[in-house]
């Protein structure tokens, strides 16, 4: 036997009482080289798993064109999201070719950091729809979470790390793929701290969640329990490269902005400015235009902590939808509501038709409800509920016409019937084949 001291075949580290080596058929390896080899192999796995979605990353114009097919208006928000997703793909490409885990320091490699996004706008302007549509475009895991269900760790409810667990499920358990995902957190404005708490209780669902989200958004290692057998080791996920997008209505923020932006708002007594709070022009100014002037200081006054605001450098606002935009939402998108209801009626062999005046009347009702585009379905359900109840029992209904008077509740929906099949002679005399001016009672 040779008395020569064993050494690592990779780095040359000699074996000592405190540094054991793993012996192989023709060599040895130390613990440090085993860890380094594991990192290198993990990089190879990441490169294989990410090469497929990165072959043809969509360009910003292509992403916006797809969003235009589902979401009407909001061009600024769509451009912001398109650029963010495209830069996310470029960051994946760079880290796939030149990963941060390397065996030597290379000062020529510039690491690209992510720019998280904050979306704000009134309810029903399309924040959640933009996020869900974006999920269809990207080739990486995408998760939509609700901030109202989150609490601090140790309290009843879901903690912030449950979002990462859902992202891992979206990646079908692929750890490397999940580390490149995109997370959208809705209703983020509900986490605003409530100011001075007179009861002395902890705000476990507001500021506490903001504090818990800090390390998650910035980049940390999250331990995700393994599903299945209890003896399986948990999965460790690095959130450093996960793109976070948050959105909220931020109701009441326009009042804070109005104080800062509108001149002549200061002064008391005879020097105070007498404005008309019911002026529709001022209300429209507050909601539609002033949100585009949001600064981090305004969000801090609203109730978000400065550390949380600083982790979302990109702030973009969605404007309130007017009547013309709501009419376009009813008819133009690929999954427009009018098209959906027409499809439902087509399954009963009937056509559904809306006049232009009826569409505008529906949009006006949604605006009056104050729920934006989200209120359009409620208006249509109320309008067509009685007709959808009786139509399956009707025979030979060919067309249902909804006019402005129908939307206003002045008349019932006009039904046009087909002539019976037995009346062949009468059918030949009729050019349209329909019996008009019949209403449903």
- Is 125 marked as a binding-site residue? yes
DSSP E strand stretches across 301-387: 314-317, 351-354
Among 125, 124, 137, smallest CA distance to 77 is for 125
- Is 127 marked as a binding-site residue? yes
Q: Enter the tokens of residue 64.
A: 């916006």
Among 349, 229, 251, smallest CA distance to 302 is for 251
- Is 286 marked as a binding-site residue? no
Count of alpha carbons within 13 Å of 131, Cβ hemisphere only?
25
- Is 423 marked as a binding-site residue? no
Return d(Cα 119, Cα 125) in angstroms, integer.
11
- Is 126 marked as a binding-site residue? yes
Return d(Cα 400, Cα 434) in angstroms, integer.
12
- Is 123 marked as a binding-site residue? yes
- Is 129 marked as a binding-site residue? yes
- Is 267 marked as a binding-site residue? no
Q: Using the structure block, give the residue that is written with the tokens 């449903």.
A: 440
Phi, psi of 224 (to 5 degrees): -105, 120
Element (H, E) at 402: strand 397-402
Q: Which residues contact 294 (CB under 8 A, 6 or more apart)?
A: 120, 253, 257, 315, 317
Among 195, 61, 72, smallest CA distance to 137 is for 61
- Is 122 marked as a binding-site residue? yes
- Is 194 marked as a binding-site residue? no
- Is 58 marked as a binding-site residue? no
Q: With beta carbons less than 8 A apart as the criterion, state whether 103 and 37 touch.
A: no
- Can you say which residues are annotated as belonging to the binding site for Zn(2+)? 8, 11, 30, 33
- Can you say which residues are annotated as belonging to the binding site for ATP? 122-129
- Can you say which residues are annotated as belonging to the binding site? 8, 11, 30, 33, 122-129
């Amino acid at each position: 036997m040779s008395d020569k001291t064993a050494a690592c075949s990779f780095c040359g580290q000699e074996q000592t009482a405190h540094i054991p080596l793993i012996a192989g058929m023709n060599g040895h390896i130390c613990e440090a080289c085993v860890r380094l080899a594991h990192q290198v192999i993990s990089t190879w796995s990441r490169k294989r798993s990410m090469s497929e979605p990165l072959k043809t990353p969509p360009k910003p114009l292509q992403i916006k064109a797809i969003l235009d097919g589902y979401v009407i208006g909001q061009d600024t928000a769509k451009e912001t999201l398109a650029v963010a997703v495209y830069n996310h793909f470029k960051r994946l490409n760079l880290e796939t070719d030149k990963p941060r885990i390397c065996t030597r320091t290379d000062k020529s490699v510039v690491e690209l950091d992510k720019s998280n996004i904050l979306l704000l706008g009134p309810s029903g302007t399309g924040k959640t729809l933009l996020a869900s549509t974006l999920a269809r475009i990207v080739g990486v895991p995408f998760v939509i979470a609700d901030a109202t269900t989150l609490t601090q760790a140790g309290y009843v409810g879901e903690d912030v790390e449950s979002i990462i667990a859902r992202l891992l499920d979206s990646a079908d358990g692929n750890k490397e793929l999940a580390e490149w995902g995109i997370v959208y957190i809705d209703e983020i404005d509900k986490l605003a701290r409530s100011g001075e708490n007179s009861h002395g209780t902890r705000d476990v669902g507001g500021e506490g969640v903001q504090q818990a989200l800090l390390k998650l958004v910035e980049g940390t290692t999250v331990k995700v329990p393994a599903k299945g057998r209890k003896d399986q080791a948990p999965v460790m996920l690095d959130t450093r490269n996960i793109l976070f997008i948050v959105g909220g209505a931020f109701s009441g923020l326009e009042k804070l902005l109005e104080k800062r932006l509108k001149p002549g708002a200061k002064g008391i007594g005879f020097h105070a400015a007498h404005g008309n709070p019911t002026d529709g022009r001022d209300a429209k100014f507050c909601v539609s235009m002033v949100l585009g002037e949001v600064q981090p200081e305004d969000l801090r006054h609203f109730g978000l902590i400065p550390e949380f605001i600083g982790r979302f450098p990109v702030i973009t606002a969605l404007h309130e939808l007017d009547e013309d935009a709501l009419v376009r939402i009813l008819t133009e998108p690929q999954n427009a509501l009018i098209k959906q209801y027409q499809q439902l009626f087509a399954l009963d062999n009937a056509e559904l038709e809306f006049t232009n005046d009826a569409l505008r009347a529906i949009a006006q009702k949604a605006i009056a409800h104050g729920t934006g585009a989200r209120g359009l379905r409620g208006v249509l359900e109320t309008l067509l509920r009685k007709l959808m109840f009786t139509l399956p029992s009707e025979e030979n209904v060919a067309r249902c016409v909804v006019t402005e008077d129908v939307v206003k509740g002045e008349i019932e929906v006009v039904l046009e019937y087909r002539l019976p099949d037995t009346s062949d002679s009468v059918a030949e005399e009729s050019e349209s084949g329909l019996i008009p001016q019949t209403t449903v009672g």
